[in-house]
Amino acid sequence: MECTVRLQGFEGPLDLLLHLIRKNQLDIHDIPMTLITEQYLEYLSLMRSLNLDLASDYLVMAATLVHIKSRMLLPQPAETSQTEESQEPEDPRAELVRRLLEYQKYRDAAQGLVVRSMLGRDVFSRPEGVWEEVEKEPELFLGGEVSIFDLVEAFGRLMSSRNWDEKALDLERLTLADCIQQIADVLKARPQGIVFEELFSESTTRKQLVLSFLALLEMVRLRMIRAYQALGWGTIRILPV
């Protein structure tokens, strides 16, 4: 059964660009277009392979990046007039940088408002015994909440690390609702959370793995679960809300 998750409910193309800039520790004012364009297109290819329905904005941004990259590869004219010599050549990335900085400003402001509204809501009393396992691995909670792009990247690594028997029969016809219920049951039994890779340990076929991941994304979108990652692009842990 085909299952499609639409990305309009998640982040947009500017979020993906900011994610790539942060991941590569780049200067937003001096973006290496070849690197960013290649990684952006790789993400789009991976999302398509997961049957994620990309909004048209993603494709427009892909075309924009390729256009900027091609402009930067063009040689600069050698002969210039005296008035032109006093002016710096226009950077093809200038408009993109302006959009990213403006978007980042408003996104950070919006996230600040969300955090304010959540203060007090996420303060809980300490139940006995529940946090014993968590305290053994405190490094898992250093860092912050991850984006869909962090999850897609982690899932891509997971898929490439496994050897799949494409001839294996998928006798159990799972639906997205079934996978959501399975994840909910796992987290109910483990309220302290579960490591991202462990969540897919029962998936025996490629189809089951992809469907379970789509269920995970849908639960993130519905705010049924939250995903956190350790500092330095480390372990991702899934926790119930």
Instruction: Tell me what pLDDT residue 80 has.
Output: 54
Instruction: Tell me what pLDDT residue 165 has.
Output: 59
Quote the CA–CA distance of 43 and 24 in Å, as a whole number. 14
The pTM of the whole model exceeds 0.75:
no
Instruction: Tell me what pLDDT residue 3 has.
Output: 53
Quote the CA–CA distance of 212 and 182 in Å, as a whole number. 9
Instruction: Tell me what pLDDT residue 103 has.
Output: 93
Non-local CB neighbours of 241 within 8 Å, separated by 6+ positions: 223, 224, 225, 226
Residue 99 is which amino acid? R
Instruction: Tell me what pLDDT residue 110 has.
Output: 78
Is 10:148 a contact under the CB 8 Å cutoff? yes
In sequence order, what E strands does the chain have?
A: 5-6, 52-53, 143-145, 194-195, 225-230, 236-240
Instruction: Tell me what pLDDT residue 65 has.
Output: 96
Note down pLDDT in tens along the chain; length 241 residues.
455 555 555 678 999 999 999 989 999 999 999 999 999 999 999 888 877 777 788 999 999 999 999 999 887 666 555 555 556 668 999 999 999 999 999 888 877 675 555 455 555 555 554 444 444 444 444 457 888 888 988 898 888 887 765 555 455 677 889 999 999 999 999 988 999 989 888 776 788 888 899 899 999 988 899 999 876 567 899 999 8
Quote the CA–CA distance of 229 and 143 in Å, as a whole number. 6
